[in-house]
Structure 1
Amino acid sequence: MNNSLNRIWKFIVSALFCTTAFTAYAQHGTITGAVNTIDSLPAAMVSIQLKEIKKATLSSNDGRFILKDIPQGHYTLIASYVGLQSQVKSVWVKAGELTGLQISFPENNAQLQEVVVSYGKGMNEKTIGAGKVAIKPMDLPQSFTVVGKDILERQQVLQLSDALQNVTGVYLMGTTGGYQEEIAGRGYAFGSNNTFKNGSRYNNGTMPEMSGVEKIEFLKGGNAILFGNVAAGGILNIVTKKPKFEQGGEISFRTGSYDLYKPSIDIYGAIDKQHIAAYRLNTTYQKSGSFRDDVNSERIYVNPSFLFNLNEKTSLLVEGDYLKDKRTADFGIGAIDYTITDVPRSRFLGVPWGFNSAEQKSLTATLTRELKKNWQVKGLVSYQAYNAELFGAARPTTIKPGGNWIRGLQKSKTSEEYLLAQVDLTGKFKTGKIGHTFLVGADADRYKTKANAYITNQYNANGRDEAISKLNIYDTINIYDKSTFGKRTDIPVLDIDRITTSPIQRFGVYIQDLVCLSDKFKLLAGIRYSYQSNRTATVDSIAKGSSGSIAAYTNDAFSPRVGLVYQPSKKLSFFTSYTNSFTVNTGRDIGGAALPPSIVDQVELGVKSDLINGLLSVNVTLYQIVNDNLAQTALTLADGSPNTDNTIRELAGEVTSKGVELDIATKPLYGFTFMAGYSFNDTKYTGGNGKNFTTGDRLRYNPAHTANASVFYAFPAKSALKNFDAGFSAYYVGDRLAGRNPSTTNPTYKLIALPDYTLYDLSVGYAGFQHFSVRFKLTNLLNKLSYNVHDDNSVNPIAPRQFAATVSYKF
C-alpha cells in the first residue's frame, strides 16, 4: 500500500505542474483608470464592463479599477452604478501597453450616497472558495458565512475571535495558556484538521495573524467529501490578501490599551509593464502587554505573494507565510474544588519567565489552467513547518482551600512538517436540458510530528530530601497573597525524558455534481474515498537510554453527500442534505492501543431568502449531528489515577448535537448596514460509555445560546458629520460548563458552571483627510467578566474594557 501511495503522490505532484507545458508568452493590453463624481471625489463599487468580451470588475474604495489580459482591439467600456445613468466610453487596447481612462459621473458625492441600494453583494450572493467549485449560495444545500474585508477593517479585527462575533453558531470554547484560541461550532471543536489557510490545512496551535487577511470563510456542517478527516461542526478557511496589478498599498499604525503597538505595511503592484507578474507584501510587528499582571507578547509576521499570468489561460499564484510569536504562558486564575477562585481579574499565577514560543512557515503554489469554455483545472502544493516550545508553571489544578499552591513545572516542545498536494477539475455542462456543475479531485498529504517530553522532578525547591526530590515542585505560593510570589526566580534546566516521532500519510479522491433538474429543483450528490495511514511511531526514551514504538494502523472510509434544493423563486430556496464522515482519532487509549475512528452522520434542513428586492436576507438552518463514539482526553489512567497526558484518550460514547441557526443581513440602505444572528445548540451524551461519561450529560465548553447583532452607519456627505462612520455591535454567549464530568468511576468530579455574558463594542471612523483615515474602537463597554475554562485548570478571564486606535495612509 505504501508503494501505491508513493506512486499516487508522485502522480498528483506531476499533474499539478504538467499544465505549465502549455504556457507561452502572449501580449495583451491592460485598461486602468479611476471613477470620480463631479465634485472630484472617488466613486466606489462602480461596475466596469467591456461589452464585447463580457469582462468586468468593480472600482475600489479609492475609485480605481483595472482590467487586465485584454486582447488587442476596440472595445466599448460601460461604467454603471445601480440607480444612476451609465457612462459609456470607447477605448482602443494595444498589445503590451497600458491604457488609462478617467470616468466621471455627473452626480456629486452626496447624490451618489443617496442611492438607496449599493452595488455590494448580499449575504446570499457571496460564493465561498472553500467549496472548491463555484456554486451559487441559493443552490448550495449547506449553511456558510463569509466575513469580508469591509467588516474586518471597520471592526479593527485583531484576533480571529473578534471575527467570530459576526458568525452564527461558531464560538470560542477556550484560550488555553493564553497563546491559543480554541474554536468550535455546533458542539464540536475546530482542531488543526478543520482550520485552513488558502485551502491548505493550517496548524492552529497559535493565534493566526489577521493583518494580512482578505476574508474568512466558515463552511458549516459536514465537509468530509471535500477535505477528508475533518470534525463535524464545520471548517474555517482564512484567505489572505492577493497580488494586484495596480500600484498601491497601505501603511497603518495601531495602538491601544496595555501598551499595544502594531505598525503594518501592505504594498502591491505590477512587476513588469506588460502586467504579466504582480506582487503583494504584508508585514507587521506587534508588541503588547496585557490586563494580566506580568503578561506580555511579541510577534512578527511577513506574507509575500506573487501572481504570474503565464498566458491568457494559465496563472500561477505563489504565497509565503511567516509568523514568529512569543508570549507569556498564562493558565489563568485557577479553581479550588471546582470553584473559580475569587482573585482580581489581573492576578497572574504563573512564573514571570514562563513562555510559549511558536514559529510557523508555509509556502503554497496554486496553478490554475482554463480549459475549454466553463472548464478549469487547479493544482495546489503546500508546505508548512510549525515549531512550538512551552516552558513555565504547571496548570493550577491542586490549589488548596486556603489558597496555597505548590507550583510545579511543565515543558514541551513540538515540531511538525506538513506537505499537501491536490488537483481539482471543475466544469459546467449539460446533458439534454439538465445542467451540471461538476467537481472531481484528489489530494494527498503527509504529516511528521516530533514531540519532546521533559523530566520535571529533577530540580525542585526541596531537592535535598530524596522523597521530595522525586516530585514536580518548583515553589509554593498563596494565590491570595502576592507577597508570596516571586521568592524563587531562577529558570531550571530540564533534561529530555522522551522524543516521540509520529508520521502520518493521507490520500483521498472525490467526485461531486450539482445537477440542475429544472429551474426549481437541484440535486447535489457526491462521494469521497479517504485512506489514512498512521505509520509506526518511534518513542526514544532518552532518560532511560532505550527506545520503543507505537504500532502502525490504517483507516479508510467512504464519505457520501447528498442534498436537495427547491427554489419556488430566485429569491427563495429550501434545502435539505445528508452527509456521512469519519474522524480518525489520534493518541492512544489507557492501555496504549490505537483508537478506532468515529463515524459521524449529519442531517441539515434550511431556508435561504432575499426579501424587499434583495435588501434583506434571512436564512434559517436546522441540523442534527450524531457522532457514534466521540474521543476525549481520558480522565483517569488504567490504575485509576488522574490523567495529565492529553494524548491518552478514551471513547466517551455516542454524542448528539442538534440546533437551529438564524442569520439576518441587509445591503447598505441610506448609509445603514445591519447584521444579526442567533443560534441554539444542544450537545449531549446520548450513549455514554457508562464509566466517565453519562447519558444525558451536556458536553462541556459549548454554549446553548449565542447571538450577535451589529449596525454600521456612514454619514451622508451633506451632513455636518460627513466623512464619519460609526458602528455598534453586541455579542452574547450563553452559559457553559467546564470542570470534569462526575461519574460512577469518579464521583468526586464536578462541573463548573460558567456565567453567560454580553459584549458591547463601539467603533468610529473618519476618512476626511486625503489618503489618511483614523478609526477608534472601544470593546467590552460594560466591562463584563466571564471566563474561558479548560477542564478545571486553565481558567482565563475574558478581556476587560479596552481602547484601540488605528491611523492608516492609503496610496
Structure 2
Amino acid sequence: MNQRIHLIAPLFALFFASSGVTFASNIASSSTCGSFFVDNDDDDQQHGSVKGRIITQDGQPAAFVTISVKGTAKGTTTSDDGSYQLRHLTIGEHTLVMSFVGLQTQKQTVTVQPGQTTQLDLTLQETAQQLGEVQVRGYKSANQVPVSVGKVAIKPLDLPQSVAVIDRDVLDRQQTLRLSDVLMNTNGVYVMGATGGYQEEIAGRGFAFNSSNTFKNGVRYNNGVMPEISSLERVEVLKGSAAILFGNVAAGGILNLVTKKPRFESGGQVAMRVGSFGFYKPSFDVYGGISQNVALRLNGTYENSRSFRDEVKGERIYVNPSLLVKLGNRTELLLEADYLKDSRTLDFGIGAINYTIPNIPRDRFLGTSWGYNRIEQASTTATLTHRLNDVWQVRATGGMQNFTSDLFGILRPNGNNQFIKTNGDWVRGLQRTGINETYWIGQVDLTGIFSTGGIKHTLLIGADADQYRTNTTAYTNLAVYDTINVFNPAKFRLRNDIPTLTARQLTQAPINRAGVYVQDLIALSEKWKVLAGLRWSYQQTGSTVTTLADSKASTVTTFDDAFTPRLGLVYQPRQTTALFVSYANSFAVNTGVDVAGNALPPSFINQYEAGIKNDLFNGFLSANATVYQIKNSNLAQTSLQNGNTNTNIKELAGEVTSRGVEVDVKSKTMRGISFLAGYSYNETRYTQSNTYIVGSLLRYNPNHTANASVFYTVQRSGFGQGVQLGLTAFYMGERMAGRSTRTTVANDAFRLIPLPAYSQLNASVGYVRPRYAIRANMTNLFDVLSYNVHDDNSINPIAPRQVSATLSWNW
C-alpha cells in the first residue's frame, strides 16, 4: 500500500505549487452578431455566468469553437449542438473572443451581473481566405475529428482503417458504469467473458484483447481489473492491426481510454449515483487554473455494490489527479496519475454439466461468502510536448504502473477434474494466487506536417521501450473443501471456515521490448493519399520458475525480433467520401519449443482491409463500411511428431482465418436528435489444424453483433428545456464456448457449448440544467437471460433488469 501512495503523493504536492509567470493574450477584433437576455441560474451574488449557442451563417450549430475571456485564463469550447457556458465570472464587463479555423475570429463585450446568467447567442461568419485551404462548416463530423490513438493527429477520413470513438456525452447520457456498457456502442469489439466476476475479457474481430491491447492515454494498461469509467473523457477503438505503432499487440485492434484533462476554466462536479441491489457511488471532479500557466484536475469516486447474485458484493476506491504546466509558448508538461483499489467476491458463476448450461436460478451463488479477489493498481505518466516550430513537434512520454492481485476462494466449477455431476453434486476445491506486476515505458515521437513540392506529408518517427516484471505466486490447491448440490443448496451442510494454503511456486516472467518505427501519410493530390510505415520490434521474454519448498529454479529465455509493415491507399473522389484498401502485418510471440528443443519463432499475421467512409447531409451523418480478412498462417500447436504428447513441444502447423464486415453510422445533433448504430459480421475458423477440426469455429466470437442508440434533447425555451431521452439496443449473436474438440485424442470428451443470441434494450431519461442534472436509466428492460462464458468453468449470467439514478451538481 505504501508503495502505491508514494507513486501518487508527488503529484498531489505539485497541485498546491504556485506560479508567478504571467500570460498575455492579444487577439484581433472583428464585428459580432449576437443577442442577450439574463436569467437567474447562477445564485452566487459575487459572480455571474454567460451561456448561449453559436451557429454558422447557414444556421448550423458551430461545434468546437474556442471561447476565451480576454485578460483571464478562463475559456471553453462549444459542444456538438453549438452550446457553451462560462461560469463563475467576476461581475462587470468582459470581452469574449470566439475563434475557429475557417471562421472569422470575433469579439463580443458582455456585462456579467451578480447571481445572474447572461444569454449570448452568436452567428459566426466564414472566412473566404481560409476556405481556400480547408472547407469548414462550423462543426466537424465523426470522420473529421482527429483521434489520438494513432500517435499522430489524422482524420479518420484519411485513415485506411476503421476507428470508433465514444465520447463523454454518450457515456453521460447512458450512465455507463463498466467497459461492457461502453462497448454496446461499438461493433466488432465485444465482451467475450467475465471470469470470476472481477474482469471483463474483451475481444475484437475474433482475437482476444490482452493487456497489450488495452491502453490508457496511449500507455499500456493491465486489464485484469475493470477500469473506472467515471474518469474517462472518451474511449477510442482502433480496429485491425496496430502493430506498427505499438509492437506486439493482438490482431483484432486496440482500446485507448482517454482520461479527463486539466482545464484553466474553474469548475467541477459532485454527484451521487444509487441503483438496484444496494448500489451507491459518490463521485467528484474538480478542475481549474492555479495560475495562468498551471492547471489541475482531480476526480475520484467510491463505489459500494451488492449484486443480483446472492452473497456477492464489491467495493472500490478510485482517484485520478492530473496537472498541466505551460513551460513556455511552445512547451507543456502533462502529469497524470491514478490509483484504484478494487475488492469483490470471487464468483465463477453456475458452471456447466456435461457441456450444457444447467437450469439454475440467475441469483444462485456457488462460491463461498469469504472468497475474494483484491486488486490494487497505481500508475503515473509524464508527457512533455514541445513544438520545435510550426512544422515539427516532439513528444516524450514516460510511465510506470504497478498491479497487484490476491485471489482466494473456490476453484472454478469443473476445474481440477472436479466436475459437476448430472444430479448436481459438486466437490468444491480451493485455490489461491498472488500477482505482483510492475511496468515501465518510455517513448519519443517526432511528428511533422510539411510539403515536398506539391506533395504533403504527415510524418511520424518514433521509438519506444517498455518492461514488464511479473511475479506470480501459486499456492497448493485444496482439492476437496466440501460438497454442494447446485440444484438444491440445502442438500449438504456447507463449510464456511478459511483454511490456510501454502505458497508452493514463484514464477518470474520478465519481458523487455523495444522498437523503432516510421510512418508517413502522403497526400499525392487532393484525391489520392498513401499511408506507409515500417516498425522493427525486439522482445526478450523470460520465465524463472522456483519451487519454494526447496528453492530449485529453472529459467527459460527467448529472443524475438520482427519487421511489421503497413501500407494503405485512400482515394477521395470528393471531400466527404473516401475509399481505402490496406495491408498490415503483425506478430505474436509463442511459448514452448520445437522438436529440436529450440525456441519457437513468432507467428506472423497478415491483415487485409477495404472500405468506404462517407459524410452525408453536410456532415450531419457519417456512414462507414469495412470488409477485412485476418490470417495467422503459422499458428503454434502441439507437435505430433513421433507420437509426442508433451504440449510444450510445438510446431507452427495451424492456421486461423477471420473474415468479416462492419458498418458504422453516427450523426451529429440536429434539432436535439442524434443517433449512432452499427453492425458486424465475423467468422473466425481453424482453416488448418493438426489438433482441432478444420473448419470449426473459434470460441467466444459472435457471428453477428449490432447496436443502435438514439438520443433526444428538448432545446426549445420554456417548459421542458433540458429534458433528455435515450434508447440503446444491443444484439449479441450466437457464439461458442466450452472446449474445442481435439482430433488427436481418441473418444475426446471435449465439446463446445453453443450460446444462443440475445438482444438487450436500455432506456435513459435526464433533466440537465447548467447547475445540476438528474439522470435515470433502466438496463435490460425485458429482463433477458444470457451468459458470458469462459471454457466450461466460468459461466456468469448477465445482469437482470436494473435501475439507477444520478444527481449531480456543477459549478
Q: TM-score, normalised by structure 1?
A: 0.85
Pick one of 599, 602, 624 that aligns with 2:604. Answer: 599
SS in 1 for 2:499: coil
Equivalent residues in 2 for 1:217-296, closer than 5 Å: 217-272=236-291, 275-296=292-313
Q: Deviation at 1:567?
A: 0.4
Partner of 1:335: 352
Q: Partner amino acid for 1:192?
A: S
SS in 2 for 1:105: strand
State how far apart, in whole Å, the 1-side matches of 2:460 and 2:345 are: 46
Tell me whether 1:77 sits opposite 2:97 in the alignment: yes
State how far apart, in whole Å, the 2-side matches of 1:678 and 1:730 are: 12
Equivalent residues in 2 for 1:136-535, closer than 5 Å: 136-272=155-291, 275-397=292-414, 398-457=419-478, 472-484=479-491, 487-535=494-542
Q: Deviation at 1:601?
A: 0.3
Partner of 1:28: 23
- After superposition, the CA RMSD in angstroms is 3.2
The answer to whether the Cα contact below 8 Å between 1:586 and 1:595 also exists between their aligned partners in 2 is yes
State how far apart, in whole Å, the 1-side matches of 2:405 and 2:596 are: 28
State how far apart, in whole Å, the 2-side matches of 1:78 and 1:179 are: 47
State how far apart, in whole Å, the 1-side matches of 2:217 and 2:785 are: 35
Q: Partner amino acid for 1:104?
A: L
Q: Deviation at 1:614?
A: 1.3
1:453/1:788 CA distance change after superposition, 3 Å: same
Partner of 2:574: 569
Partner of 1:661: 662
State how far apart, in whole Å, the 1-side matches of 2:580 and 2:349 are: 44
Q: Deviation at 1:105?
A: 2.5
Pick one of 625, 628, 632 that aligns with 1:623. Answer: 628
SS in 1 for 2:693: coil
State how far apart, in whole Å, the 2-side matches of 1:244 and 1:781 are: 38
The answer to whether the Cα contact below 8 Å between 2:37 and 2:118 also exists between their aligned partners in 1 is no
The answer to whether the Cα contact below 8 Å between 1:538 and 1:547 also exists between their aligned partners in 2 is no
SS in 1 for 2:51: coil
Partner of 1:96: none
State how far apart, in whole Å, the 2-side matches of 1:82 and 1:502 are: 53
Partner of 1:43: 52
Q: Deviation at 1:160?
A: 0.6
1:51/1:203 CA distance change after superposition, 3 Å: closer
Q: Deviation at 1:28?
A: 2.0
Q: Deviations over 1:650-703 (max 9, x none)?
A: 967210001000001111121110111000001001111x22x22101010000
Q: Deviations over 1:576-625 (max 9, x none)?
A: 11001111135789999754322100001010001111111110001000
1:530/1:483 CA distance change after superposition, 3 Å: same
SS in 1 for 2:334: strand
1:633/1:619 CA distance change after superposition, 3 Å: farther
Q: Deviation at 1:36?
A: 8.4
Q: Deviation at 1:136?
A: 1.7
Q: Partner amino acid for 1:789?
A: V
Q: Partner amino acid for 1:29?
A: A
State how far apart, in whole Å, the 1-side matches of 2:154 and 2:173 are: 28
State how far apart, in whole Å, the 1-side matches of 2:145 and 2:304 are: 35
State how far apart, in whole Å, the 1-side matches of 2:585 and 2:328 are: 41
Q: Deviations over 1:732-782 (max 9, x none)?
A: 0000001111122342211100011101000000024x6111100000000
The answer to whether the Cα contact below 8 Å between 1:289 and 1:296 also exists between their aligned partners in 2 is yes
State how far apart, in whole Å, the 2-side matches of 1:303 and 1:786 are: 34
The answer to whether the Cα contact below 8 Å between 2:473 and 2:504 also exists between their aligned partners in 1 is yes
SS in 1 for 2:327: strand
State how far apart, in whole Å, the 2-side matches of 1:591 and 1:190 are: 32
State how far apart, in whole Å, the 2-side matches of 1:213 and 1:347 are: 34
1:442/1:106 CA distance change after superposition, 3 Å: closer
Partner of 2:10: none
SS in 2 for 1:152: helix
Larger mean CA deviation between 581-590 and 796-805 belongs to 581-590
The answer to whether the Cα contact below 8 Å between 1:51 and 1:78 also exists between their aligned partners in 2 is no
State how far apart, in whole Å, the 2-side matches of 1:421 and 1:650 are: 35
State how far apart, in whole Å, the 2-side matches of 1:694 and 1:227 are: 33
State how far apart, in whole Å, the 2-side matches of 1:491 and 1:125 are: 57
Q: Deviations over 1:308-366 (max 9, x none)?
A: 00111110000011000000111010111001111101111111111111100100000
State how far apart, in whole Å, the 1-side matches of 2:650 and 2:410 are: 24
SS in 2 for 1:379: strand
Q: Deviation at 1:137?
A: 1.6
The answer to whether the Cα contact below 8 Å between 1:118 and 1:668 also exists between their aligned partners in 2 is no
State how far apart, in whole Å, the 1-side matches of 2:295 and 2:669 are: 32
Equivalent residues in 2 for 1:691-710, closer than 5 Å: 691=691, 693-710=692-709
The answer to whether the Cα contact below 8 Å between 1:287 and 1:299 also exists between their aligned partners in 2 is yes
SS in 1 for 2:171: helix
Q: Partner amino acid for 1:808?
A: S
Q: Deviation at 1:649?
A: 9.1
Partner of 2:771: 771
Q: Deviation at 1:75?
A: 10
Equivalent residues in 2 for 1:605-754, closer than 5 Å: 605-630=610-635, 653-688=654-689, 690-691=690-691, 693-718=692-717, 720-746=719-745, 747-754=748-755
Tell me whether 1:541 sits opposite 2:562 in the alignment: no
The answer to whether the Cα contact below 8 Å between 1:46 and 1:79 also exists between their aligned partners in 2 is no
State how far apart, in whole Å, the 2-side matches of 1:804 and 1:507 are: 46
Larger mean CA deviation between 421-430 and 715-724 belongs to 715-724
Partner of 2:782: 782
The answer to whether the Cα contact below 8 Å between 1:378 and 1:423 also exists between their aligned partners in 2 is yes
SS in 2 for 1:123: coil
Q: Deviation at 1:59?
A: 3.7
1:120/1:777 CA distance change after superposition, 3 Å: farther
The answer to whether the Cα contact below 8 Å between 2:64 and 2:139 also exists between their aligned partners in 1 is no
Q: Partner amino acid for 2:301?
A: T
Q: Deviations over 1:379-419 (max 9, x none)?
A: 00000000011111011110000000000111111110100
Percent of aligned pairs with the same amino acid: 52
Q: Deviation at 1:627?
A: 1.1
Q: Deviations over 1:533-579 (max 9, x none)?
A: 114x3222013x13222321100000000000000000110011100
SS in 2 for 1:226: helix
Q: Deviation at 1:76?
A: 9.4
State how far apart, in whole Å, the 2-side matches of 1:592 and 1:542 are: 26
Q: Deviation at 1:119?
A: 5.6
The answer to whether the Cα contact below 8 Å between 1:79 and 1:87 also exists between their aligned partners in 2 is yes
State how far apart, in whole Å, the 2-side matches of 1:153 and 1:652 are: 48
Q: Deviation at 1:484?
A: 3.9
SS in 2 for 1:164: helix
The answer to whether the Cα contact below 8 Å between 2:35 and 2:122 also exists between their aligned partners in 1 is no
